[in-house]
Amino acid sequence: MKRIGMLTSGGDCQALNATMRGVVKGLANNLDELEVYGFMNGYKGLIYGDYRMLTSHDFSGILTRGGTILGTSRQPFKLMREPDEKGLDKVEAMKQNYHKLRLDCLVILGGNGTQKTANLLREEGLNIIHLPKTIDNDIYGTDMTFGFYSAVDIATNTIDCIHTTAASHNRVFIVEVMGHKVGWLTLYAGIASGADIILIPEIPYDEAKIIEAINRRKKRGSDFTILAVAEGAIPKEIAELPKKERKKAMAEIAERYPSISYKLAADIQKETGMELRVTIPGHMQRGGSPCPYDRVLATRLGSEAAKYILDEDYGNMVAIVDGKIKKVPLGEVAGRLKTVDPECQEIRDAKRIGISFGD
Ligand code: F6P
């Protein structure tokens, strides 16, 4: 007999349901008795005791379904130690609800912030298993997160569509891809869709270099250019400022423009006289059915999580490293971010074929 709790926290992504299905099928297939408690809307459900008991029926037919059957919310890690507006100690409340239900463990699906709280609960003595989700693929200690390749598909399709329009109209197009802190999604979607210029937070850009790249294409007879720009792309002159001034400069941009892409578009238009357009697929990138790769990854991670629960082996993230599913101690990875190394092979390969990174 096992009693497990489960929650999905932070921004949603594809394959959350597929992963939970993997865990529950992996347990139900190997246990005579299993009770699964789903906490609603992320840590909120665990804090306020909002849960429902789930049956195998809940996990049937959800391999392909986007979103999360449990709902989700953002509960910032930095506020976890602060009491809520009614003075409730959130960490104590989570522990109490865990113990009240006599759970054997809590399975937590989420990104970096979620992982930090998962580690805090582990330090507080709860049995935790973390499963790495995010379209950003920025979780340290795993080569891949589920959601990433599904989002790459959507961002790539968007840029593909823009490509034909850009070529017909001889325009410069900016497609803004999700990713405030890291550029994995922009890098992969940019390469996959044949973007001419890719701008990511890890490589601050020089506007003059971007204009150079556009003009170089013009000289060679291509009057259109596609830029794949991460939400968190940053101009070089601002990136070089001390933290406080950098924040101020970015806040000023945010006041004047809907996003960094619009500032970039305005600047390029002014300098070159070319016509620019900005397209933002936004939250579409997190939606819809998971791609086959994510369905396989989710099933493998979920199934392995079930094995750890059966073995009573807790306190880990279930990761994929060099193609093998393995456990990674939460204490070793929580709070660390997996950013794009500007010298990585993908970037060197992309530069060799002429893609500009604005540096
Ligand atoms: O972390 C996933 C992510 O989609 C980021 O790529 C994006 O910057 C952010 O979440 C958007 O957050 P929200 O859904 O709260 O607007």
Residues 268-287 pLDDT 10s: 999 988 889 999 999 999 99
The pLDDT value recorded for residue 275 is: 87
Could you give the dihedral angle defined by the CA atoms of residues 40, 44, 48 and 54, in that order, rounded to the nearest 10 degrees?
20
Domain 2-147+290-333 fold is Rossmann fold (3.40.50)
Residue 217 phi/psi, 5° resolution?
-65, -40
Which atom of ligand 1 is closest in space to residue 111's alpha carbon? 1
Domain ranges of the chain: 2-147+290-333, 151-286
Ligand 1 centroid, distance to 176 Cα (angstroms): 13
> Rounded to the nearest whole angstrom, what is the distance from the C-alpha of residue 13 to the centroid of ligand 1?
10
Distance CA 244, CA 226 (A): 32
Is the CATH code 3.30.470.10 the one for domain 151-286?
A: no
Closest residue to atom 5 of ligand 1, CA basis: 179
Fold match, 2-147+290-333 / 151-286:
yes
Ligand 1 atom nearest the C-alpha of 286 is: 4
Q: Which amino acid is at 219?
A: K
Regarding beta strands 225-230 and 197-199, do their DSSP bridges make them parallel or antiparallel, or are they unpaired? parallel
Looking at the annotation, which residues are catalytic? 136
The pLDDT of residue 47 is: 98
- How is residue 101 written in tokens? 């239900």
Protein residue with least CA distance to atom 2, ligand 1: 11
Strand 324-329 to strand 316-321: parallel, antiparallel, or no bridges (unpaired)? antiparallel
Give 10-residue mean pLDDT values along the chain (359 residues). 97 98 97 97 98 95 98 96 97 98 98 98 98 98 98 98 93 97 98 98 98 95 95 98 97 97 96 92 98 98 98 98 98 98 98 98
Show contacts of 240-246: CB within 8 Å, 24+ apart. 240/204
